[in-house]
Amino acid sequence: MSPGILGDLNWLAVIVATIVYFGLGALWYAEFLFGKAWQKAMGWDGNAPEGAGAVIYLVPLVTCFVATLATAMLAAATGTDTVGEGVVLAIVVGIGVSASVLAVTGMFDATKPAAMTSVAISAGYHFAGLLLASVILALWR
């Protein structure tokens, strides 16, 4: 894969997939889904850190963009262009990369009341978000 692959990407698809992935987080971490359980597992009272401002949302948006861009590059390099291939790509990046990295971090995070619960919730979010992104990127080439 070469950096030239960036010119072959459908950038509108990358932007839409990023927004869908990021937007899923608003639902995923809402109190009616996994928000309360995640906050409890993290030992967090739900209040934003003092002085966080918009950065608390900007950083996740940027990281969703980076993950979506990397997924788009892999989709282009592998010729992923069907729903089934998008699902396989999501398994590779969502479980093979995101969930495994989160699991290692969670294993050694003694500061959280229930680190592996927070890992499971976060890994589920990233898998679901990358699944949506992968399917969008596969079908909208």
Q: Are 48 and 58 in contact (CB under 8 A)?
A: no
Number of domains in the chain: 1
Residue pLDDT, tens place only, 31-41: 999 999 999 99
What average pLDDT does this structure show over 43-72?
87
Residue 55 lies in a domain: no
Q: What is the pLDDT of residues 86-102, one digit of tens each?
A: 999 999 999 999 999 99
In a domain, 24, yes or no: yes
Residue 9 CA, distance from chain mean position? 19
| Other CB atoms within 10 A of residue 62 CB | 13
Query: 80 burial class (0-12, 13-18, 19+ CB within 10 angstroms)?
Result: buried
Distances (CA, A) of 59 to 3, 12, 16, 53: 24, 21, 17, 11
pLDDT at 123: 95
Query: Does 126 fall in a domain?
Result: yes
- Give pLDDT tens digits for 3-26: 778 888 999 999 999 999 999 999
Domain that holds residue 92: 7-45+60-139
Rounded to whole angstroms, the Cα distance separating 43 from 112 reads 6
